[in-house]
Amino acid sequence: MTTIDESPTPTASSGSSLVPTLAGRYYCDPDVFAAEQDRVFEQMWFCAVRSADLATAGSFRKVQIGRESVLVVRDRTGALNAFLNVCRHRGAMLCTEDAGEVTRHLRCPYHAWTYHLDGRLAAAPNLGSLTEADGTRIDRTRWGLVRVELREWLGYAWVCLADDPPSFETDVVGTVSARLGDVAAVENYGVSALSVGRRVVYDVKANWKLIVENFMECYHCATIHPELTEVLPEFADGLAAQYFVGHGALFGENVSGFTIDGGSGLDRIPGVSEEQDRRYYAITVRPNVFISLVPDHVIFHRMYPMAADRTVVECDWLYLPEVVEQNMDLRRSVELFHRVNMQDFDACERTQPAMSSRAYRTGGVLVPAEHHIGEFHSWLTSILDDA
């Protein structure tokens, strides 16, 4: 693992000049959101589900990614598969429930076309008498469900709708490595082997970019996060952990754990190094993941942008399996970041209405502590402008 530099080099300019933000329309214009669905959410690797949530054959979860409804399904070999949630007969939605479990097959409730858990067409009324246009027997693979690329990492299933998916190693693993200085730094936490101790789903009335920007910076921390800055005093100075490569914010001198009162937490995850102990690391993986690493647990956010002014955020608190199995008291541990989430999402919802104001028609400004958000804006506009 890369050694932590106590005087790290900022990833963005440390100059004193103000930098313009995106214009307000980027946060409220349905046409901009439609372009993001097309060129961002449906082209990039998108973190869909926690793999362990689909523990048995036939278990499934329906996820909205861009304009598409996607099914992630565990098949009878134990593998996870992802498909567009569309029957190949007449286009009915195959599954309308958000999650569930089927016994053997996925069956369309409209005309009873039925699919194996690996996506192949299994049966349909009068299937034996049906032929292709050229008179040959119907091709059950050709008329199976439309497959979506899927990779598993950190205990989650990441899917990509693109016809030619970008490199997972570059866009996902590489992003984490670039933030921490070495991908081994996240592997130390054994995230895939942890268990969900608590999950909270937030329905936020704000654009997804406001949430990303909020998570990336800490200029607001002294204003709205009194509990967090008690645990992580450096955040009161306005520089977020993500401002520096490889940097983790150090716990306060009298702080014992990442808890609502700074009191002792749980036993340290065995793989976490001495360098990582008593530190908080934050990572943004575009377009929809935030990862927070602390010595005894991991907080994993997934965003599902639903509209220009609405984002569903699913947050998992992940602990050692024995912590969850023994039903240990997690309330003080969970409460700290749950409160941070509520404070952050309230700020985003308070900001959203102003995005359509004439006062924000040309946008606002970034102060030096927020300059790294400018790189996020440049990244997004380069994608949207490259039509």
Give burial (CB, 10 Å; 0-12/13-18/19+) of 93. middle
Domain harbouring 140, CATH code: 2.102.10.10
In-domain check, residue 11 = no
Pair (155, 178) in one structural domain: no
Output the domain CATH number for residue 21. 3.90.380.10
Per-residue pLDDT reduced to its tens digit, 228-286: 999 999 999 987 777 778 889 999 999 999 999 999 999 999 999 999 999 999 999 99
In a domain, 268, yes or no: yes
* Domain identity same for 123 and 245: no
pLDDT digits (tens, 9 = 90+) for 25-74: 999 999 999 999 999 999 999 999 999 999 999 999 999 999 999 999 99
Q: Which whole-number Å values give the CA distances from 90 to 129, 139, 235, 279, in the listed order? A: 18, 17, 54, 54
Residue 264's nearest CA partner among 296, 290, 293, 233 is 296
pLDDT at position 1 is 33
Are 259 and 313 in the same domain? yes
Residues 195 and 64 in one domain: no
Confidence (pLDDT) at 15: 60
- Residue 294 domain-assigned (yes or no): yes
Dihedral sign of CA atoms 173, 178, 179, 185 in order: positive
Residue 261's identity, in one-letter code, is D
| 36 and 51 part of one domain | no
Q: Profile the chain (387 residues) by mean pLDDT over runs of 10 residues.
A: 34 67 97 97 98 97 98 97 96 95 93 94 84 79 93 98 97 95 94 98 98 95 96 90 84 96 96 95 96 98 98 98 97 98 98 98 93 93 84
Same domain (yes/no): 259, 311: yes
Do both 24 and 155 map to the same domain?
no
How many C-beta neighbours within 10 Å does residue 369 have?
Answer: 20
Q: Are 316 and 194 in contact (CB under 8 A)?
A: no
Same domain, 143 and 239: no
Q: How many residues make up the chain in this entry?
A: 387
| 30, two tokens | 């349905």
In a domain, 8, yes or no: no
Q: Do 312 and 353 have their domain in common?
A: yes
Q: Are residues 234 and 365 in the same domain?
A: yes
Q: In angstroms, rounded to a whole number, what is the distance separating the alpha carbons of residues 29 and 291?
A: 28
**Which of 148, 165, 182 is at the close of a domain?**
165
Q: What is the 3-state secondary structure (H, E, C) of 152-210?
A: EECCEEEEECCCCCCCHHHHHHHHHHHHHCCCHHHHCCCHHHCEEEEEEEEEECCCHHH
Q: Is residue 252 part of a domain?
A: yes
Half-sphere exposure of 39 (CA within 13 A, CB side): 15
- Domain encompassing residue 356: 17-43+173-386
